[in-house]
Structure 1
Amino acid sequence: MDIDTARTTIRGAFRISSDLQELLFLLKQRCSADEHRQYAIDIARVIDGVNVALLDTAIKAYPELESEIDERISTRGHI
């Protein structure tokens, strides 16, 4: 993959994680505590999988993107 594809992959990974976190918040409001706990565990696993499959791979290919990510989060609050 080229560096622009890596950037797109990273943005997608962050978007997926953000969407899942929003879903978890909704589930907390609408599910029992036990259901929410199980969803929280499952969603955490999925987010970890996304990070390993997408973020780690892109950053391994282009380590310089890690500082770019940090800078964008610091200045914009998001990717």
Structure 2
Amino acid sequence: MADQLGLVTQGPGEFLAQLAADRRPVTIVLPDLHAGADPDGPAELVLTLDAQDHVRLVVETRSGTTVHPQLARPGAALTDIDEPQ
């Protein structure tokens, strides 16, 4: 993510600090978050990113996975892609 945003960082903490200091509006898309080897780590990062008012997140998770309830909370816009909409 840092590379795509033009930031040079050496870990999540430094990435978050630079992103917080850089107030440009940004949208981050994270597909298949539930499919990673350890999805809980990225889920924690998503929650931290969500606290930044200039960051917009689009995160894909499957219902029934451990990370889905963490991220599907009040204020999140949910779309069920299995629905015919």
Structure with more strand by fraction: 2
**Given the two structures, how large is their TM-score scaled by the length of structure 2?**
0.31
Structure number with larger C-alpha Rg: 1
* Greater relative contact order (CA < 8 Å, ≥ 6 in sequence): 1
